[in-house]
Structures are given as C-alpha cells and as structure tokens.
C-alpha cells in the first residue's frame, strides 16, 4: 500500500449477489509437482505445547507463538555435496498484505457465458498425465490423502524424485486455464493424488473455491479444515502449517475467509503462504473487502455465486506460481524496448493521465511497456500482477472494449476503481483506471488518442519486433568490456567485430561452457529501488517446461532462504547440488539469482555474476522503465 492513499469514494452497499460471467474452458492441463505421503490419523501440536487429537491429520502445526518452520533443502543431493556461504546482511522489509476487500459489482453485459467442457470429453490417459500433478503409480489408502507406498515398489521416493515436477510436457505446453476434474471429490483416488490443492472456505465451513473437483462435493472436507482452524483458535493460538510426511498444509485466515494449501512439492512455507495471499488478493480484486459485511449479517452467507465464472481467473493465477517470478519477487518486468520508443509511449500516457486518468498502463502479455500514474498515486507490483492476470485470463476482454469495476487491494481495498481495457493487437492491451463510474466515453476518447500516437510512432511494430527477438540471452553475455553507451541490440555485433588478443582468447575458452560463459544457464536480476526485475530467456539445457519449472522452484527456495529473518537475511549464498550451482547476491540496490552448470567453477561463477551486473547496468535504459516512482510498501 502506498504511503499516500487516494480517496476513491465510499463503497456502495452490497445488493443481491450478482453472478459474474467469464469465458472459461474447463480443460485438463498440467502443472507437475512431487509425490506425497498419506495424511493419516494422529495428533497436532498447536505451537504452544498443547495437543489436538482426533482431527484426522498427522503433523506439526507451527502457531504464532511456536517454533521456527523447518526448511528441507535439496533432498536428492548427489553425495550430499553442498557449498554455502552466508553473510548476515541488513534486514529486508517484508511485504505486508495491506488492507484488502469490498464486494464486486459486475459490469452489466459484455461478459460471455461460461463454456463448460466436461471431463468426459478428455481421455483417461490425458487426464492422468494432465499437469503432472497426479502422483506416480501408487494406490490411495482408504484413510489417507495420498497413497501409502509398498516398500518394495519400483517407484521409490528417490526414483520419483528424479522425475519430479512433470511427466507430460506436451500437456503443460498446451495448458489452458479453467476448472478441471469436476467429477472428483475427496473420495476419489485421483483427487487424493493431486500434488497441490488450494481451497477457499468461509468460517462456517462452506466451500467457496477448490482448485480440483466440485466445491459442493467437497463440503465435508471443507468442514474438516474449518474444524482444525477453529479448534486451534479456541485454544488461544492460530494454526500456520501442518506437516504430515511429505505433505505440508498451510493455513491463512483473513477474517471470515479461510485459505488452505495442501502441497507435497517441497516448496518453502513462506512461498506457499505468499501464494495464498495472492489468491486472496485476487478474490478481493473481484469483490473488495466489504464482502465481509455479508458474513457479519449472516455467518452462513454463501459467497460462491459472487465468484461465479471466475474459476478461469484463479486457475490462471495458480498456474503462474509455476513460471512467473513476479509471484515471489514482488516486482514487475518490462518488455525490452529502445529508450526512445518507451519514451514515446510514456509521453502519450502522461498526457491522458493529466486529463483525469488515475493509472494508464500499456502492457504486452505480462510485461509492462509503459506505466503512468496520477500525481502521488503509485501502483504496487502485486496489484499489477493480479490486474494483468484478470485481464489476460478472460477472453471477453480480447473481443471488445470493456469497462469493468475492479479493486486494487494494495491501493484501496474498500472501494472500486473502474478499468477501461482494450486490446490494441493480439498481445498488447491498454488499461485505463479511474475513480469515476461514468468515465467510459472519456476513456474511450483517451484510448483513441493513444492508439493513434502509437501507430504513428511505430511503437506497436517495435513491440512486436521485441516479442520476436526476445530479451536477454545468456549466450550474449559480453566477455570483453563494452562501451557503457552500447545498446543491447548492438552488443552482439560488437562481439563479432572485436578481435580478441591471445590472452582474451584463453579467457574466452575458460568461460565457454553449456549455455553462457562459465556454464551460466539463467539469471534473474531485481532492481530494489525500481521494484522491477529482468530475467534471461530460457535456452539449452533449460529448454523444456519440466526443467524450467524445476529451476523456478529452486529460485523460490533460495529466495526464501535469503530472506528468512529467523536465520538471516543474508547477503550472499553459493549452493551446489546435482541439478545446478545457484549463486545469490543481495545488496541495497539489487538482487541477483544465477543458475550455472553443476560442475561450474566457483571463482568463474562469481566473475560471471559481476559481468551480469555490469551488462544490466549498460542496457538498463532498454530493459527497465526508468523514472517510475518507487513503491511504498
């Protein structure tokens, strides 16, 4: 939330539930994770020494007053090889959830009805492999959440770990957001084998949303989750997480709304909690926090009709947890563009912002082209992530210009803003946000002015060219010093023209490896002041969805480790396992996360990271939106 909040008006009282229709496809996808164990019967520690029995969940609960959450790292290390350097650094401010909320008023008309594609249209084989989140060849036990394994099974924990994340890459590549597996419930074997579940329920135990299965069929399971939360709260504590075998159950209580994640993906507790926060914020973007008033009037209020048709929005957000660094970095990324091109786009957006538009955002897919806000108004990166997810996951926004009420949780969670959305081409869209519900025609005129300027200045064609060229590639990392004024587009030609000396040739040979120099495979650079990040394009050997997802999970873990206030935070960390060498470097100005070949030399890896920082500095005018006001968290 910015330090300066604008008054966007008193939210209106909540009328009868309005069903929101969004175009969605209930199609099987894939999002693989690791195998898990059974949630059997047992006891739960509430974090303050007490014991809860008979809840049917076996694990440890870390309460507010309890101990630290244990972090398990790299279970499948080769010979236990791990190198780690940690220096305690300054404390990094934690992202707060801000004030979230208000009910969602649907735009009258303009949204198509839901197209439902039943699971019966999909083959059993595709369903079993979809998203890779069905566990391996194991049978579910009668009492457990996942199957007990036979000790003599050929699919042991170690062998399944080697096939971690995904088994059907084609399914992931063709992933389509939407509700899946509607025929499943808690009694279904396939439902129990899902590797990562998300649930939203009310404090009365009524189901609101489930990632898999029909919410109404999961009423009994939701009641069990509500009983666990209530039992611990009645003891004066608050449940944070339960660990049962390989499964981790993370709880998030937001007033009358409960959110739960059940996962066996070995993601850190902090990462799963942040994901629940984002899911809650996505719900608030649709409804606003004043939906809580409905629960105050009627504790048994059914909120499901208010979210009707929004399954596609939530499933798209959950899918982004597996590929979008913005979900844990709390930063946004920009489309690489020449400085003059971005300035031309920013100038016309500034003109319309001065005419009463609160925020003017030009985006291409999930990347920002230009962003302008009214004076003293700032847009949090998380709000930008949720807003772009909301727009891109609905086909109705692509087919016609739209004017829709939305809530920005980090800006003002208690009232609506109004968003005018129009696609300028297949991937590029303009979002104009205002506080006035009568500003449709004014925003339409603003859009026409913007579109005319962008066409005349060839900005749209430059955007398409940037999409084709991609961003930064590790193969293009300059080995020789280059002029600071040299652009990203001209650096590759510079390296071809420059004739290295004999000493430079030897250095080049030392740096040559799979991927980029010194075995560099990938990197993410985050500017702390700008709240922006840049990530290199994936290239061999990280060129399949399964490998990319595994690397993303590794980044999540090392990010959580670097920002763990219980044992840190740290300034540097060097970690080697069978998959990668990961080197992380955090300063007051930036954070750098780099992945190398597991046999990479440590000294060369450090030198390469220095070169990455210099490279980013040399081309910052093209990869960052400079001049954007920093965000006040």
- Residues 211-234 have pLDDT tens digits of 998 888 899 999 999 999 999 999
Q: What is the pLDDT of residue 183?
A: 78
Q: What is the pLDDT of residue 264?
A: 93
Q: Find the domain containing 361 and state its range.
A: 339-469
Final residue of a structural domain among 438, 469, 500: 469
Instruction: Check whether residue 430 and residue 553 sit in a common domain.
Output: no
From edge to edge, which strands make up the β-sheet containing 51-53?
51-53, 43-45, 59-63, 239-244, 247-254, 257-263, 196-202, 207-210
**305: Cβ–Cβ under 8 A, 6 or more apart, which residues?**
17, 19
Q: What is the pLDDT of residue 174?
A: 57
Beta bridge partners of 249: 242, 262
Q: What is the pLDDT of residue 514?
A: 58
Please report whether residue 258 resides in a domain: yes
CATH code, 395: 3.30.450.30
Identify the DSSP state of 212: B
Asked if 276 contacts 93 with a C-beta cutoff of 8 angstroms, the reply is no
Q: What is the pLDDT of residue 560?
A: 92
Asked if 103 contacts 405 with a C-beta cutoff of 8 angstroms, the reply is no
Select from 470, 450, 509 the least CA-distant residue to 367: 470
Q: What is the pLDDT of residue 128?
A: 37
Instruction: Check whether residue 459 and residue 481 sit in a common domain.
Output: no
**230: Cβ–Cβ under 8 A, 6 or more apart, which residues?**
203
Select from 307, 270, 305, 300 the least CA-distant residue to 285: 307
Instruction: Check whether residue 151 and residue 281 sit in a common domain.
Output: yes
Please report whether residue 16 resides in a domain: no
Residue 61 CA to residue 43 CA, distance in Å, equals 10
Instruction: Check whether residue 309 and residue 349 sit in a common domain.
Output: no
* Burial zone of 102 (CB within 10 Å; 0-12 exposed, 13-18 middle, 19+ buried): buried
Instruction: Check whether residue 229 and residue 154 sit in a common domain.
Output: yes
Instruction: Check whether residue 503 and residue 577 sit in a common domain.
Output: yes
CATH code, 263: 3.30.450.70
CATH code, 522: 3.30.450
Q: What is the pLDDT of residue 481?
A: 52
Instruction: Check whether residue 448 and residue 579 sit in a common domain.
Output: no
Q: What is the pLDDT of residue 456?
A: 93
Instruction: Check whether residue 414 and residue 319 sit in a common domain.
Output: no
Q: What is the pLDDT of residue 447?
A: 95
Select from 170, 216, 151, 221 the least CA-distant residue to 192: 221
Residue 274 CA to residue 139 CA, distance in Å, equals 32
Low-confidence ranges of the chain (pLDDT < 70): 1-179, 480-514, 568, 628-633
pTM beyond 0.85: the answer is no
Asked if 584 contacts 573 with a C-beta cutoff of 8 angstroms, the reply is yes
Select from 182, 189, 186 the least CA-distant residue to 224: 186
**633: Cβ–Cβ under 8 A, 6 or more apart, which residues?**
1, 93, 95, 96, 330, 380
Structure tokens at 547: 């490998």
Taking only the tens place, the pLDDT of each residue in 362-414 is 999 999 999 998 877 789 999 999 999 999 998 889 988 999 999 999 999 99
Instruction: Check whether residue 180 and residue 49 sit in a common domain.
Output: yes
Count of Cβ atoms closer than 10 Å to residue 94 Cβ:
10
Instruction: Check whether residue 455 and residue 480 sit in a common domain.
Output: no
Please report whether residue 551 resides in a domain: yes
Instruction: Check whether residue 528 and residue 457 sit in a common domain.
Output: no
Please report whether residue 3 resides in a domain: no
Q: What is the pLDDT of residue 167?
A: 37
Please report whether residue 15 resides in a domain: no
Please report whether residue 628 resides in a domain: no
Final residue of a structural domain among 440, 469, 498: 469
């Amino acid at each position: 939330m910015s330090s300066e909040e604008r008054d966007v008006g008193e939210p209106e009282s909540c009328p009868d539930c309005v069903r929101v229709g969004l175009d969605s496809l209930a199609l099987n996808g894939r999002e693989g994770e690791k195998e898990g164990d059974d949630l059997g019967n047992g006891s739960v520690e509430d974090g303050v020494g007490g014991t809860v029995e008979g809840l049917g969940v076996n694990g440890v609960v870390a309460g507010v007053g309890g101990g630290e959450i244990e972090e398990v790292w790299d279970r499948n290390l080769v010979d236990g090889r791990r190198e780690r350097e940690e220096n305690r650094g300054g404390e990094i401010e934690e992202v707060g959830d801000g004030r979230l909320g208000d009910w969602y008023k649907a735009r009258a008309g303009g949204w198509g009805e839901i197209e439902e594609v039943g699971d019966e249209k999909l083959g059993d084989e595709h369903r079993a492999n979809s998203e890779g989140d069905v566990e391996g060849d194991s049978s579910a036990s009668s009492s457990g959440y996942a199957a007990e394994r036979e000790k003599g099974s050929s699919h042991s924990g170690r062998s399944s770990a080697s096939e971690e994340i995904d088994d059907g890459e084609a399914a992931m590549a063709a992933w389509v957001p939407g509700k899946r597996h509607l025929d499943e419930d808690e009694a279904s074997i396939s439902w129990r084998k899902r590797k990562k579940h998300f649930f939203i329920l009310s404090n009365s135990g009524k189901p609101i949303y489930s990632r898999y299965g029909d919410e109404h069929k999961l009423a009994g399971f939701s009641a069990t989750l509500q009983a666990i939360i209530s039992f611990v709260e009645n003891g004066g504590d608050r449940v944070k997480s339960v660990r049962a075998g390989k499964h981790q159950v993370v709880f998030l209580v937001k007033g009358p709304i409960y959110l739960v994640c059940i996962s066996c993906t070995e993601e850190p507790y902090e990462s799963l909690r942040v994901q629940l926060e984002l899911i809650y914020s996505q719900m608030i973007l649709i409804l606003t926090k004043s939906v809580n008033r409905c629960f105050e009037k009627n504790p048994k209020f059914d909120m499901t009709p208010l979210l009707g048709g929004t399954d596609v929005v939530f499933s798209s957000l959950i899918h982004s947890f597996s590929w979008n660094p913005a979900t844990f970095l709390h930063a946004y990324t920009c489309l690489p563009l020449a400085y003059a091109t971005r300035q031309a786009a920013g100038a016309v957006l500034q003109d319309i912002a001065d005419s009463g538009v609160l925020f003017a955002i030009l985006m291409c897919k999930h990347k920002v082209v230009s962003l302008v806000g009214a004076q003293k108004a700032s847009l949090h990166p998380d709000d930008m992530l949720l807003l772009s997810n909301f727009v891109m996951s609905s086909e109705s926004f692509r087919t016609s210009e739209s004017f829709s009420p939305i809530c920005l949780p980090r800006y003002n969670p208690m009232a609506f803003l109004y968003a005018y959305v129009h696609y300028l081409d297949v991937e590029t869209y303009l979002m104009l946000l205002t506080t006035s519900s009568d500003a449709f025609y004014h925003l339409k005129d603003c859009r026409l002015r913007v579109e005319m300027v962008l066409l005349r200045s060839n900005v749209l064609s430059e955007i398409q060219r940037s999409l084709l060229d991609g961003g930064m590639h590790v193969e293009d990392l300059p080995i020789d010093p280059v002029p600071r004024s040299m652009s990203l587009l001209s650096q590759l030609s510079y390296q071809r023209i420059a004739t290295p000396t004999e000493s430079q040739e030897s250095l080049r040979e030392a740096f040559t490896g799979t991927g980029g120099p010194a075995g560099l495979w990938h990197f993410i650079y985050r500017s702390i002041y700008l709240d922006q990040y840049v990530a290199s394009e994936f290239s061999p050997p990280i060129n399949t969805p399964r490998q990319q997802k595994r690397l993303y999970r590794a980044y999540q873990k090392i990010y959580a480790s670097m920002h763990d206030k219980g044992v840190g935070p740290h300034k540097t960390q060097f970690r080697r396992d069978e998959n990668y060498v990961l080197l992380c470097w955090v300063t007051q100005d930036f954070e750098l996360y780099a992945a190398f070949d597991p046999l990479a030399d440590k000294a060369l890896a450090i030198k390469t990271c220095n070169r990455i920082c210099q490279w980013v500095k040399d081309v910052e005018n093209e990869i960052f939106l400079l001049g954007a006001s920093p965000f006040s968290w």
